Chain A
Amino acid sequence: MSQFKKIAIANRGEVAVRIIKACEEMGIETVLLHSEADIGSRAYRMATKTICIGPAPTAESYLNIEANINGALAMGAEAIHPGFGFLSENADFAEAVEKSGLKFIGPSAEAIRALGDKVHCKALAKQAGLPLVPGYEGENQDVAHLVKEAERIGYPVIVKAAAGGGGRGMKLIKSSAEAVELIESAQREAQSAFGSPKVFLEKYLDRAKHIEFQVFGDSTGHVIHFFDRECSVQRRHQKIIEEATSPSLTDELRRKMGEAACAIAKLGKYKNAGTVEFLLQDGEFYLLEVNTRLQVEHPVTEEVMGVDLVKMQILTAQGDFVHDPKQIRAPRGHSIECRIYAENPYMGGVPSTGLLGKVSWPEGPGRRYEYGFEKGDTITPFYDPMIAKVIVWDENRPRAIQKMIRVLRDSVVFGVHTNIPYLIEILSHAEFVNGKMTTRFIETYFADALKAPEMGELEKEISAQVLKALRQNESSDVLVSSPWMTYWRGV
């Protein structure tokens, strides 16, 4: 197959930017399929061409299959990359894209149906004899029936969106008293985020680690894995820190889990990038789900494996990517990713929206930034709160942690609050440093909002002088006297 000349991107934010960068490197033009709210965004500015496919609410734009396909066709694209989230794991979308004559950059609709729908995936895994967490994956979505099933499984139970990801449509039910409210809430979130209210139930493992394997099926259908990531640090069931490789696996466990990951991908006749997620508790692992798309945390794998997963995805969709055994090597060093969310860590993590001022990321070796927003962009309440990803690489885990803390301290985001102080606290916690964190790490050690540090005298003086300097449009050597000083002293 000849090389794509123009690829449409059915997504936004940092992942849209990531795909545009890969396309630029490959000499491929891009078309950004965007909502009205994202006019002028970084991805909008970077794409070769853009087309508005609808208003801000996702159901009317990013989740609208017809609008996405029509936009791509109108702009002369040959393929659509769905990124992650939105329609990336929607089999109907993949099928409609292919029917329209465009190429879907991802697995086939059949593979998404077999593996991407968590309920079908579990059925397939059962056939293959893979260990599963006990639960309910039935078709009966009546709330009363789901409550009955939750009681059969035994609390705590976790309710999840069948088509979900990113922590949306996922709730932990600790007792029957809160079951109805949380199941209904999960169904509403699932409908809002993924266009389907379908949920399923799982026994909640309370000391588990979240370990996942990056799998990749090439154009011939040959599946290999690119080792593992640990994503145990989660807030509201949403990952916030990911690393490659996991500090928790022995060589033997790594081998077994890698084989299981490839086995399930092969059963689903998998081509393109995917992730097989496991829970690990007391040395036993259980299949959690398969994500039939690129993952948010793919950069940590790229850093330790020296590969470009997005480029490989595009080449696979073109039909000309085959794994080269000589190029496949063991992971090297250690990589950590932190997700930067627009939220206030001092108010329990409530979303923080507004106009972005200065945004800057410190440069240096082994640092990588994936971001979709810059100064002048507005963070709206319509979409996911993730505004950037910070990724570091170093020779070993302790050095990578040290580097990440330094990088976060030197990163500047003005205009909205971010979780950066929260991330620094986590990275400095002994449990994290020792690699002992479980999926309950945050609720165990960081249940309450961080206490906002009081402004010291120095900070008050600095603020006062800086304000004066800005107002006078000066930038150096401002003398002390300022009417603001009295205010700061009174804080």
Chain B
Amino acid sequence: MEVSVKIKGVEHKVQAELIGTELWVHHAGRTFNVDTQSGRKSRKKAAGGKSNQILAPMPGKITKLLLNPETVVQAGQAVLVMEAMKMEYTLKSDIEGVIESIHCEVGDQVTLGKVLVKLKAKADT
């Protein structure tokens, strides 16, 4: 809906909507969204850097597991493949170490942020 707010005496007309816990705003040619629970800009951040786990960076289907538990991995090595919107995405390990456990199977439809693989860093092995 169109919302009009006055800040320091200046009126700003914006488009805005609450979808779930997210506030979406369009103002001055830019759309941004904010998580109203944390108050932070919403990123839906998943696959984090240097993580010892591989998270689903998007909802999609697991199409291939390239490595088994106990396998030694190098940083940047492909671990599994998933598909969303008809495109393949290869998910890689951020760290050097060993595959500790795998939490998905080929054919699984996974949600954003799901833990797919846990790794044990080389330093910890």
Contact = CB atoms under 8 A, between A and B. Distances in A.
Best-buried of A347, A381, A478 by chain B (most CB within 10 Å):
A381
Contact of A463 (B15, B25, B109): B25
Contacts, number: 154
Contacts of B4: 475-477
B25 A357 contact: no
B39 interface: yes
Interface in B38-58: 38-41, 43-45, 57-58
Contacts of A484: 39
Interface of B: 1-7, 12, 14-20, 23-27, 29-34, 36, 38-41, 43-45, 57-61, 63-64, 78, 81, 83-90, 109, 112
Contacts of A188: 63-64, 81, 88
A469 B61 CA distance: 40
Contacts of B1: 358, 470, 475
Contacts of B36: 467
Interface string A376-403: 0000011111000000000000000000
A381 B87 CA distance: 10
B20 to A, nearest CB: 8
Interface in A159-179: 166-168
B27 to A, nearest CB: 6
A413 B87 contact: no
B25 A381 contact: no
A466 B2 contact: no
A355 B24 CA distance: 12
Chain A interface size, as a band, is 35 or more
A455 interface: yes
A144 interface: no
A256 interface: no
Given A351-B84, A351-B85, A469 B41 contact: no
A461 interface: yes
B87 A168 contact: yes
B16 A480 contact: no
Contact of B39 (A357, A421, A466, A490): A490
B89 to A, nearest CB: 8
Given A181-B90, A353-B58, A358-B17, 13 more contacts: A58-B86, A189-B88, A344-B44, A350-B57, A352-B58, A414-B17, A414-B19, A452-B41, A452-B43, A462-B12, A469-B16, A470-B23, A484-B39
Interface string A285-305: 000000000000000000000
A486 to B, nearest CB: 8
A412 B15 contact: yes
A216 to B, nearest CB: 28
A318 interface: no
A461 B40 CA distance: 13
Interface in A447-484: 452-453, 455, 458-459, 461-463, 465-467, 469-471, 475-480, 484
Contact of A491 (B5, B41, B61, B85): B41
Contacts of A479: 6
